[in-house]
């Protein structure tokens, strides 16, 4: 891995350019210029663009309802809202788990956690799994992944197909030093390191076809630069400040793509791995249950042209659908064994190829070595079940009327026993599904003590019986 890093010359240019660009971007207001308009139906022609690029921005820990375009009252995300207004936005979108590794394994492979079996802290995506970056590389794209969250690191198999898969080095700015304090193994740096490296990458390789994955992480840490501290200093305010800061990072990358005139041949997708709870169901954070605040995430597609009217999809969609959809749009043959489906027919208003239900799956023992203890979320157009089969019966099922109660506050399982039983049936059928051919008995790695303490610095309690 170190060798790989040393081979990666653009990485050094990125580090060198960091302070200069960083200074400039904090001084300017990011505005996205107007672009050519196009038709939704032209989505079928994207595959014909010769020098097509794909940029996939994953924003860790971003719940949909804290974005303006999803109805939030605060202006946390002006850039992403503007992108959504001129592109495609999936309004009722569900992530497959509530911690990064399980959720990202599902997202990349288009399979549910029960299919890919990446459920525990030591599990590794096997070589046999085919990841989108491998398909891009075969199709002649330059591939690069930039991340800061250790759960998607090399040791867990997420590097497959990336020519460069790196965690950019941290800036030695006064702010970075201040933030680092005196804590060992703290997550160093900031998402600005990713933005700077991404800007350098697209600049350097603007003549090539590329697939770039940028996995932002500052929202997970509630981290932001001072001039994004515009919503106050409370706990939830800090979360919103970090969304605003991340939005500026996205804007900086998009502004550079604009400047290089790359947006006309780039498909840009923004998604998230899970949300964040603020005591809606007695918990803070994530990786503890599968309620709405943790599984309802944004999904935004920005086409190589602006749409006159935004396309807002109200139908239920899932993260497992994203890669089958993207590969369909760019004309790369997807893998067969997916639970998700291409949403292109839905985008075009022709048909809904994957009408639901949507599933979320968290093993409550993901961070230790005790036996399986699944919690399953089943979401339909009208209802949501949270099922925890190992609990005593009266605490094992929660049923919500999503239209009346989108925040899942009023449990109706006693008033709606039949509807509840029908969804419990779906949840138990889900749990009995067999794994994918490549998913059987996923490899595990011994997570060494240093790695564990870095992951613990993210706020998780990991390890133990």
Kindly list the residues in this chain that would bind Zn ion in the complex (CB under 5 A): 60, 100, 273
In the complex, what is the shortest distance from the CB of residue 250 to Zn ion, in angstroms, rounded to a whole number?
Answer: 17
Which is nearer to Zn ion, 209 or 215 (by Cβ)? 215
> Which residue sits closest to Zn ion, CB atoms considered?
100
In the complex, what is the shortest distance from the CB of residue 298 to Zn ion, in angstroms, rounded to a whole number?
Answer: 14
- All residues at 6 or more sequence positions from 45 whose CB lies less than 8 Å from its CB, including other chains: none
Which is nearer to Zn ion, 60 or 408 (by Cβ)? 60
In the complex, what is the shortest distance from the CB of residue 100 to Zn ion, in angstroms, rounded to a whole number?
Answer: 3
Rg over alpha carbons for the chain, rounded to the nearest Å, is: 21
Nearest to 146 by CA among 8, 34, 350: 8
Nearest to 104 by CA among 96, 115, 92: 96
Sign of the alpha-carbon torsion through 106, 326, 337, 150 = negative
- What H or E segment, with its residue span, contains residue 358? strand 358-363
Which is nearer to Zn ion, 281 or 286 (by Cβ)? 286
Which is nearer to Zn ion, 273 or 318 (by Cβ)? 273
Which is nearer to Zn ion, 287 or 346 (by Cβ)? 287
Q: Please check whether residue 413 is in contact with residue 398, taking contact to mean a CB–CB distance below 8 angstroms.
A: yes
In the complex, what is the shortest distance from the CB of residue 287 to Zn ion, in angstroms, rounded to a whole number?
Answer: 8
Nearest to 276 by CA among 324, 319, 218, 316: 218
In the complex, what is the shortest distance from the CB of residue 325 to Zn ion, in angstroms, rounded to a whole number?
Answer: 21
Which is nearer to Zn ion, 100 or 159 (by Cβ)? 100
In the complex, what is the shortest distance from the CB of residue 319 to Zn ion, in angstroms, rounded to a whole number?
Answer: 12
Compute the 3-state secondary structure of the chain and give helix, strand, coil in percent, each to the nearest 5: 35, 20, 45
Which is nearer to Zn ion, 100 or 338 (by Cβ)? 100
In the complex, what is the shortest distance from the CB of residue 184 to Zn ion, in angstroms, rounded to a whole number?
Answer: 22
- Nearest 5°: phi and psi at 383? -140, 165
**DSSP string of 157-221, one letter each residue:** TTTTT-SEEE-PPPP-SHHHHHHHTT-TT---S-HHHHHHHHHHHHHHTTTS-EEEEEEE-TTTT
Sign of the alpha-carbon torsion through 334, 336, 340, 345 = positive
Q: Please check whether residue 168 is in contact with residue 216, taking contact to mean a CB–CB distance below 8 angstroms.
A: no
In the complex, what is the shortest distance from the CB of residue 133 to Zn ion, in angstroms, rounded to a whole number?
Answer: 19
Which is nearer to Zn ion, 60 or 163 (by Cβ)? 60
């Amino acid at each position: 891995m170190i060798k790989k890093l040393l081979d990666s010359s653009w990485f050094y240019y990125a580090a060198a350019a960091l302070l200069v660009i960083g200074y400039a971007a904090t001084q300017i207001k990011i505005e996205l210029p107007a672009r050519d308009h196009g038709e939704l139906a032209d989505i079928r022609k994207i595959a014909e663009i010769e020098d097509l690029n794909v940029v996939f921005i994953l924003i860790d820990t971003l719940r949909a309802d804290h974005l303006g375009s999803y109805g939030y009252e605060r202006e946390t995300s002006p850039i992403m809202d503007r992108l959504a207004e001129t592109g495609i936005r999936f309004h009722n979108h569900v992530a497959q788990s509530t911690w990064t590794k399980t959720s990202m394994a599902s997202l990349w492979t288009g399979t549910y956690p029960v299919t890919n079996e990446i459920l525990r802290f030591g599990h590794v995506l096997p070589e046999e799994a085919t990841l989108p970056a491998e398909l891009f590389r075969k199709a002649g794209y330059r591939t690069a992944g930039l991340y800061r969250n250790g759960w998607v690191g090399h040791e867990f198999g997420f590097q497959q197909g990336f020519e460069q898969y790196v965690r950019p080095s941290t800036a030695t700015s006064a702010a970075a030093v201040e933030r680092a304090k005196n804590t060992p193994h703290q997550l160093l740096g900031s998402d600005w390191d990713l933005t700077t490296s991404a800007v350098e990458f697209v600049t350097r390789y603007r003549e090539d076809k590329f697939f770039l994955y940028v996995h932002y992480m500052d929202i997970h840490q509630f981290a932001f630069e001072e001039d994004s501290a515009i919503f106050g200093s409370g706990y939830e305010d800090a979360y919103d400040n970090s969304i605003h800061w991340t939005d500026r990072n996205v804007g900086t990358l998009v502004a550079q793509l604009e400047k290089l005139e790359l947006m006309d041949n780039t498909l840009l997708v923004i998604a998230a791995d899970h949300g964040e709870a603020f005591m809606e169901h007695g918990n803070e954070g994530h990786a503890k249950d599968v309620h709405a605040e943790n599984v309802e995430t944004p999904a935004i597609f920005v086409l190589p042209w602006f749409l006159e009217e935004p396309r807002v999809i109200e139908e239920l969609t899932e993260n497992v659908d994203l890669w089958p959809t993207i590969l369909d749009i760019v004309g790369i043959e997807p893998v067969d064994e997916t639970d998700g489906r291409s949403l292109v027919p839905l985008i075009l208003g022709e048909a809904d190829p994957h009408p639901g239900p949507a599933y979320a799956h968290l093993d409550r023992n993901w961070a230790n070595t005790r036996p399986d203890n699944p919690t399953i979320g089943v979401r339909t157009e009208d209802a949501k079940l949270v099922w925890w089969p190992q609990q005593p019966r009266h605490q094992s099922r929660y049923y919500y009327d999503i239209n009346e109660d989108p925040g899942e506050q009023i449990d109706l399982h006693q008033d709606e026993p039949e509807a509840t039983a029908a969804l419990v049936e779906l949840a138990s059928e889900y749990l009995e599904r067999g794994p994918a051919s490549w998913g059987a008995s996923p490899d595990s790695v011994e997570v060494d003590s240093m790695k564990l303490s870095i992951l613990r610095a993210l706020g998780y309690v990991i390890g133990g019986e």
